[in-house]
């Protein structure tokens, strides 16, 4: 078992990484006998893990209830959020109630937002069941829902009281789902740690066959990197923006496609290559590193081009609404070298369009 502490003064909390985490009621579950919890999951995860986790908690003296939501990014919406509120209100759950998000990034984001806003804030625990959620979405307190005009444009910062990462769940993921998580892992390496990028180049094949020691190191390293950023900039006012590498382009893809067809990780992978090509056009990145990034993304089974049907005009329409953009000015996180990125302000729209075309024609 590995333990990492997110240090946020009164809001500090542990990230626990282990095998067999659903077998025993260990200290990683910050719950007491008699606590009331509502397990929130989706209709894909529920048949596999809901009863296992609920039985574990019930045996340990925790009063449990459940809510099963429809799967899919398109369901990270106001309608689904209201379903959670209705459940909590009908059962008269109060501020002592604890929500448990059992699922991927969608479940974590919407459960966290419900916890942030129900009776002006209740506690919740993240139990991520996808690689992407384990290394990124479950950590840091960003919660929210999507709007048809933009991804994650409605939300709140609300930290969990714990993140419980069970490595065993990764064996139930499809290759597409696993690759989606690899996109965020590669993002961490490009943005923050060149040595970790080199490690990924050498150990990607081990990760793809779910080699347990490699998975443990990889997930722990991503959690450490994110923790180091969050403790400095919890509310995304400064350095935390480096974690958005590829996301302005990637969110445009997701929004254009209506949060279907492409996964978050696939969109971010294409977005990373667009950011790389933007940096190349600005003469702040070298071609050899660009080739290394493209090769690693390709080996991970991720796209290195955007959807064929999207034009540069389509991208710009959504990118102008991005949270980092101000008055139509595009502020983009771009690589300087592998392991180092910076935010470039007011990037020329024509240059962005050309960078998108470079990516999709290469």
Alpha-carbon 325 to chain mean position = 21
50 class by beta-carbon count within 10 Å (0-12 exposed, 13-18 middle, 19+ buried) = buried
From residue 238, alpha-carbon distances to 268, 297, 342 in Å are 21, 27, 11
Beta pairing partners, 144 = 155
From residue 60, alpha-carbon distances to 32, 33, 54, 64, 361 in Å are 9, 7, 10, 11, 57
Q: Please give the angle made by the CA atoms of 117, 119 and 123, to the nearest 5 degrees.
A: 70
Going by C-alpha positions, the residue among 74, 230, 246 that lies closest to residue 157 is: 230
Q: What is the chain's percent helix, strand, coil content, to nearest 5?
A: 50, 20, 30
C-alpha–C-alpha distance, residues 141 and 20, integer Å: 25
Q: How many helices (H) and strands (E) does the chain have?
A: 12, 11
Which residues line the annotated binding site?
A: 71-76, 105-109, 129-130, 142, 151, 184, 247, 264
Alpha helices in 60-193 (DSSP H): 78-90, 105-117, 131-132, 175-192
Three-state secondary-structure class, residue 186: helix
Which residues line the annotated binding site for NAD(+)?
A: 71-76, 105-109, 129-130, 142, 151
Which residues line the annotated binding site for Zn(2+)?
A: 184, 247, 264
Say which residue the tokens 């009863």 belong to: 51
From residue 31, alpha-carbon distances to 9, 88, 104, 125, 302 in Å are 20, 19, 22, 10, 39
- The answer to whether 35 touches 228, Cβ cutoff 8 Å, is no
């Amino acid at each position: 078992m590995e333990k990492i502490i997110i240090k946020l003064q009164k809001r500090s909390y542990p990230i626990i990484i282990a095998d067999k985490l659903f077998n025993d009621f260990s200290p990683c579950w910050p719950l007491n006998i008699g606590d009331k919890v509502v397990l929130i999951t989706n209709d894909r995860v529920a048949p596999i893990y809901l009863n296992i986790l609920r039985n574990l908690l019930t045996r340990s003296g925790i009063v449990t209830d459940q809510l099963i939501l429809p799967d899919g990014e398109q369901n990270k919406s106001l309608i689904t959020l209201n379903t959670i509120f209705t459940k909590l209100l009908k059962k008269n759950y109060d501020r002592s109630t604890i929500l448990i998000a059992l699922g991927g990034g969608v479940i974590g984001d919407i459960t966290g937002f419900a916890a942030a806003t129900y009776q002006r804030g209740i506690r919740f625990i993240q139990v991520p069941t996808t690689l992407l959620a384990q290394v990124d979405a479950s950590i840091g307190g960003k919660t929210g829902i999507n709007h048809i005009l933009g991804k994650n444009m409605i939300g709140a910062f609300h930290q969990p009281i714990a993140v419980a990462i069970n490595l065993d769940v990764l064996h139930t993921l499809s290759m597409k789902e696993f690759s989606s998580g690899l996109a965020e892992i590669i993002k961490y390496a490009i943005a923050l740690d060149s040595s970790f990028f080199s490690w990924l180049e050498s150990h990607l094949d081990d990760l793809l066959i779910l080699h347990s020691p490699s998975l443990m190191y990889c997930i722990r390293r991503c959690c450490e990197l994110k923790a180091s950023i969050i403790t400095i900039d919890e509310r995304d006012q400064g350095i935390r923006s480096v974690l958005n590498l590829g996301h302005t382009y990637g969110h445009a893809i997701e929004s254009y496609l209506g949060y279907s067809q492409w996964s978050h990780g696939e969109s971010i992978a294409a977005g990373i290559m667009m950011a790389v090509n933007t940096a190349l056009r600005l003469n702040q990145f070298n071609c050899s590193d660009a080739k290394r990034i493209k090769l690693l993304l390709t080996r991970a089974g991720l796209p290195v081009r955007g959807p064929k049907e999207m034009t540069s005009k389509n991208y710009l329409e959504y990118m102008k609404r991005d949270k980092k953009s101000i008055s139509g000015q595009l502020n983009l996180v771009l690589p300087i070298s592998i392991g180092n990125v910076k935010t470039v302000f007011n990037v020329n729209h024509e240059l962005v369009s050309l960078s998108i075309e470079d990516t999709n024609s290469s």
